[in-house]
Amino acid sequence: MKSSLFLVATQALLSYALSSGGRPDILIRDLAEKRDAKQDIVTWDEHSLFVKGERVLIFSGEFHPFRLPVPSLWIDVLQKVKALGFNCISFYVDWALLEGKPGDFSAEGVFDLKPFFDAAQKVGLYLIARPGPYINAEVSGGGFPGWLQRVRGLLRSSAPDYLNATDNYIANIGKIIADAQITNGGPVILFQPENEYSGAGDYTPFPDGSYMEYVLQQARDAGIVVPLISNDASPLGHNTPGTGEGEVEIYGHDGYPLGFDCAHPTVWPKGNLPTNYRSLHLEQSPSTPYSILEFQAGSFDPWGGWGFEQCSALVNHEFQRVFYKNNYAAGVTINNLYMIYGGTNWGNLGHPGGYTSYDYGSVIKEDRTITREKYSELKLQATFLQSSPGYLTATPGKSSDKIYSDNPDITVTPILANSTDEASFFVVRHTNYSSFESTNYKVKLPTSQGTLTIPRANQSLSLNGRDSKVIVTDYDVQGTKLLYSTAEVFTHLKQGNQTLLILYAGPNEHNEFAIEAPSSTQVKKVAGDESFSVTSSNSNFLTVNWATPKERSIVRVGDNILVYLLDRNAAYNYWLTDIEGTKDKVVINGPYLVRSASLKDNELHIKADFNASTTVEVLGISGTKVFINDAETSTESSDFATTANVSVNSPSLTIPKLADLEWKYIDSLPEIQKEYDDSQWTKADHKSTDNTYQPLVAPVSTYSSDYGYHTGVLLYRGHFNATGNEGNFSLWTQGGSGFAVSVWLDDHLLSSFGGNPANASYRGKYDVTGAGLEAGTEHVFTVVVENMGLSENWIVADEMKQPRGILGWRLETSKATNTPISWKLTGNLGGEDYLDRIRGPLNEGGLFVERQGYHLPGAPTESWVSHSPLEGIGLPGIAFYSTSFDLNLPSDEWDIPLAFSFSNDTAASGIYRAQLYVNGWQFGKLASNVGPQTVFPVPEGILNYNGKNYVGISLWALEQGGAKIPGLELVAGTPVWTSREKVELVDSPGWKKREGAY
């Protein structure tokens, strides 16, 4: 099935091409063929998507399975998203993790997407697949494997060597995704090729339609038949339907109106509320649903940044109210929030602009706990929209500070129904969108009863500070017309002849609704302590006006309608939950989280989580037994709800004190010792480089990716035969923002560069005059360079090719003469032939202990000396510490967040870099002098909650005085009594002696 508008557009193009001469026949055949819908399950018109013929609002959140390498936990995140009222997840795939070596694609274990697809299917979420090949996403190389640094052609262009490099990945991942499409019974409904193909350096023509055409064709060739959608960086109109070559089927764009600087979380700069989205959409892509493929739901945070609490404060519940409702005012019906759950940049997968945590300040935190206010606000919004089918076909109109409000400080944007039989929506905000004022106003709204000035009772409405409201008119509540409500709708449902309507409002507000009812109808307050008044203004509509109660008031209108008037904070505790296998729903008030509900044999089974003792109310279903997490509850019934008490007695947890454990120590910088043998290291002997970004300034390339080393710490050994006249040694290194470098001459540290967020590279000069280099003697520079990940490639300008390692050097003997140095280098053992096929190509870097595999459980620590990282080392160098401990936590019933917390006191500790390995998985990178992260959450599944754990810490002391870790603890958060599925321990293969390790 094709939408009619789509046909019209195709025909228009066809007749245009026919009349325009040239070689239209070919063009037309190609394009027409391409546009022939490949399936009829996912279709669209100008309003929305249809799935299986049914109009749907896509309310989606971004989640990256690869940032939570515990597949059995994916369903937990997905259930938490579903419980928001969402029906979709958008996900990236990170190519760099799947094809560490050209031609060697592997998506097994934690990289296997099958359990993710299964979880989505089980939970009932659609998926938007975004496999790149370019993804950005704050991952190393923006998803490009390091070996792309050796591709000469411009990345993300029509250069044949670039396109060839992508073929294997897209053929493989495309097939995996194709098999999971809804047309094959799977959850995938949309596919986004490329990512923000929105800009380029000015030396290349942009946009390159034939390039995008190739990318689209790759997807089709891999069997993708669902609609292809784009995500322009902002509404720039690239590759929109109708532009011909390179056009996608559904145009979408991104939006990050507050940007990514979490320094001033209360500042909303003037003019940052996008008020032109609707008009741009009508210019750019009027025949497709208005789609925002990424809208800000938090922020990334760089090295030296402000921390994610502050990002969460920047993009907080007020941001959600004002900005998200502004998007609804623009008529968005495919809506994806970036990120809904951020996760972790474990194992070096991040780019240099970020640290280990990718929490993102999202509604679900890195440790999977849910933020009360942000999460709950989003739940109110999504549940409302999913309860309001009229939204999908209503038409957004022009904002005005006059037509619909009596106060110019209030702007209202209408979303108007096509007839008064249907609902209209009015989005109210402050004209100065960032205002903190409390503003009184009345609205003047067109309704089926003529234009009404509301409220009709004496009080005004008020908008308090950074808030926005959606007022509905002529809104269908289960067959009864709600003429209007100034309080916002959460949801409504019907059981038998009983209708339940739930409204909510902020504190210190007066609100009013008017509902269809004969004038003789009685309104009775059945619960609540606040006053409310009732007037009947004409024979058909009954008006109720009330002040927001402390928690709630409940009123009965006539015999059959129950209206809950909630304080917003109380509304946060309400959940609208599908009854599995039916179209029915139930409202549940109380739990920390409600995952699912099912009804059989008059038993209602609820799966829910609790972080405290809670009274649970079930609304909208009565007369059933209630089971919570498989236990029958004793219930009480009033005439509006069934109530059960759940008591939660937190378990007492035994968490080992890391400081008291026995730690084993081994030196991880044996390279500086005289007898160290580097004969197996890679010789830096390439006389040229394929890196087209950074021309060589040296006689040979020392760029790490020229030799297959793309991740983690890099080590160089530079051998030279001294003349006795050496003066300055200059060294130019590059590791990305925040990187550190230590330079050793033989076993003596010349100096370290401690790094800072502003420096991606560093030019050091070291005076070796006094180093006693005698003529004819052999010496070695050992250089440790941290690779913070490869740069992204956000615009088409090859920035991903910025090399890592040593870029240039000079050992000066006089103004004109140098002492030649021959360099060797290493990164992770094996380079692109990486050894750890389970943890993937990026998890281990080039430290001695990593090359030996000593970060893996079962490392031969017996022979190591006992020594604690809290004592540290008194000399510069790299130490490695490991310990083991058992956990025995009640994790079948309790979700217990655990994190490794380092106390940071650079004055006491010296400047250091640490890496944390948990059962072999690198789950933390700490830069003591850069920050901000010192607490590293590690999920169950990586940590064995019921058995043995092996923990390693590398400690790179940058200064002459050495370093220590001043304090280290394993910290538990509040245990949540959980109904999640059991967590499966992730396969974490142990140490085996590595043949040929050096």
User: Of residues 137, 329, 644, 784, which one binds ligand IPT by CB under 6 A?
Assistant: 137
> Is residue 655 classed as helix, strand or coil in its secondary structure?
coil
Rounded CA separation 454/543 (Å): 11
Specify the stretch interacting with ligand IPT by CB under 6 A; choose among 132-140, 173-181, 722-730, 871-879.
132-140
User: Of residues 136, 192, 439, 733, which one binds ligand IPT by CB under 6 A?
Assistant: 136
- Mode of pairing for the β-strands spanning 748-753 and 741-745: antiparallel
Rounded CA separation 379/566 (Å): 15
User: What track of x and - describes contact with ligand IPT for positions 245 through 264 (by CB under 6 A)?
Assistant: ---------x-x--------
Instruction: Closer to ligand IPT by CB, 170 or 986: give it.
Output: 170
Residue 233 contacts ligand IPT per CB under 6 A: yes
Site residues for ligand IPT, window 789-818 (CB under 6 A)? Answer: none
Question: ∠23-25-31 over CA atoms, to 5°?
Answer: 105
- Tell me how far, at minimum, the Cβ of 64 lies from ligand IPT, in Å: 10
- Tell me how far, at minimum, the Cβ of 502 lies from ligand IPT, in Å: 34
- Mode of pairing for the β-strands spanning 614-619 and 603-609: unpaired
Q: Please, which residues have CB within 8 angstroms of residue 862's CB and are 6 or more apart in sequence? A: none
Rounded-to-10 torsion of CA 17, 18, 20, 23: 80
- Tell me how far, at minimum, the Cβ of 374 lies from ligand IPT, in Å: 17
> Is residue 192 classed as helix, strand or coil in its secondary structure?
strand
- Tell me how far, at minimum, the Cβ of 398 lies from ligand IPT, in Å: 27
Q: Please, which residues have CB within 8 angstroms of residue 738's CB and are 6 or more apart in sequence? A: 302, 303, 304, 352, 755, 756, 757, 759, 788, 927, 930
User: What track of x and - describes contact with ligand IPT for positions 597 through 616 (by CB under 6 A)?
Assistant: --------------------
Specify the stretch interacting with ligand IPT by CB under 6 A; choose among 119-127, 134-142, 263-271, 715-723.
134-142
Report residue 351: phi and psi, to 5°.
-90, 170
- Tell me how far, at minimum, the Cβ of 662 lies from ligand IPT, in Å: 42
DSSP output for 576-644:
EEEBTTSS-EEEEES-SEEEEEEEETTEEEEEEEBSS-EEEEEES--SSEEEETTEE--EEE-SS-EEE
Rounded CA separation 603/203 (Å): 68
Neighbours of 21 (CB within 10 A): 7
- Tell me how far, at minimum, the Cβ of 494 lies from ligand IPT, in Å: 42
Task: Tell me the β-bridge partners of 784.
Answer: 715, 742
Q: From 841, 843, 844, 806, select the one nearest 825 (Cα to Cα).
A: 806
Rounded CA separation 801/154 (Å): 10
Site residues for ligand IPT, window 168-227 (CB under 6 A)? Answer: 195-196
Nearest-10 crossing angle of helices 71-82, 114-123: 30
Instruction: Closer to ligand IPT by CB, 268 or 703: give it.
Output: 268
Q: Name the residue with the smallest CB distance to ligand IPT.
A: 136
Which CB contacts under 8 angstroms, 24+ apart, belong to 623-631?
624/599, 627/603, 629/977, 629/979, 630/605
Q: Which residue has the tokens 């004592």?
A: 871
Contact 544, 532 (CB under 8 A): yes
Site residues for ligand IPT, window 322-351 (CB under 6 A)? Answer: 338
Residue 359 contacts ligand IPT per CB under 6 A: no
535: tokens are 């007037």
Q: Which residue has the tokens 């025949």?
A: 287
> What's the DSSP call for residue 150?
G
Instruction: Closer to ligand IPT by CB, 136 or 439: give it.
Output: 136
Q: Which residue has the tokens 């650079």?
A: 906
Rounded CA separation 390/405 (Å): 23
Instruction: Closer to ligand IPT by CB, 138 or 940: give it.
Output: 138
Instruction: Closer to ligand IPT by CB, 137 or 454: give it.
Output: 137
Residue 561 contacts ligand IPT per CB under 6 A: no
Instruction: Closer to ligand IPT by CB, 62 or 247: give it.
Output: 62
User: Of residues 76, 94, 138, 488, which one binds ligand IPT by CB under 6 A?
Assistant: 138
Q: Please, which residues have CB within 8 angstroms of residue 25's CB and are 6 or more apart in sequence? A: none
- Tell me how far, at minimum, the Cβ of 437 lies from ligand IPT, in Å: 31
Instruction: Closer to ligand IPT by CB, 130 or 855: give it.
Output: 130
434: tokens are 């960032």
Instruction: Closer to ligand IPT by CB, 233 or 783: give it.
Output: 233
Instruction: Closer to ligand IPT by CB, 232 or 512: give it.
Output: 232
Site residues for ligand IPT, window 562-591 (CB under 6 A)? Answer: none
Instruction: Closer to ligand IPT by CB, 95 or 391: give it.
Output: 95
Report residue 208: phi and psi, to 5°.
-95, 100
Q: How far apart are the first and last CA of the chain?
A: 62
Q: From 676, 794, 651, select the one nearest 137 (Cα to Cα).
A: 794
- Tell me how far, at minimum, the Cβ of 334 lies from ligand IPT, in Å: 16
Instruction: Closer to ligand IPT by CB, 276 or 519: give it.
Output: 276
Question: ∠238-241-243 over CA atoms, to 5°?
Answer: 65
Specify the stretch interacting with ligand IPT by CB under 6 A; choose among 135-143, 607-615, 826-834, 876-884.
135-143
Rounded CA separation 207/913 (Å): 42
Looking from the CA of 478 toward its CB, the CA atoms found within 13 Å total: 19
Specify the stretch interacting with ligand IPT by CB under 6 A; choose among 130-138, 380-388, 451-459, 706-714.
130-138
Site residues for ligand IPT, window 282-311 (CB under 6 A)? Answer: 294, 300
Instruction: Closer to ligand IPT by CB, 308 or 823: give it.
Output: 308
Q: Which residue has the tokens 């590293």?
A: 936
User: What track of x and - describes contact with ligand IPT for positions 752 through 771 (by CB under 6 A)?
Assistant: --------------------
- Tell me how far, at minimum, the Cβ of 519 lies from ligand IPT, in Å: 55
Instruction: Closer to ligand IPT by CB, 255 or 941: give it.
Output: 255
Radius of gyration for the alpha carbons in the chain, expressed in angstroms and rounded:
31
- Mode of pairing for the β-strands spanning 498-505 and 532-536: unpaired
- Tell me how far, at minimum, the Cβ of 757 lies from ligand IPT, in Å: 17
**Catalytically active residues, by annotation:** 196, 294
Helix %, strand %, coil % of the chain (to 5): 20, 35, 45
- Tell me how far, at minimum, the Cβ of 136 lies from ligand IPT, in Å: 3
Q: State the sign of the Cα–Cα–Cα–Cα dihedral 109, 110, 116, 117.
A: negative
- Tell me how far, at minimum, the Cβ of 254 lies from ligand IPT, in Å: 5
- Tell me how far, at minimum, the Cβ of 106 lies from ligand IPT, in Å: 23
AA letter at 164 = N
Binding residues for ligand IPT (CB under 6 A): 135-138, 195-196, 233, 254, 256, 294, 300, 338
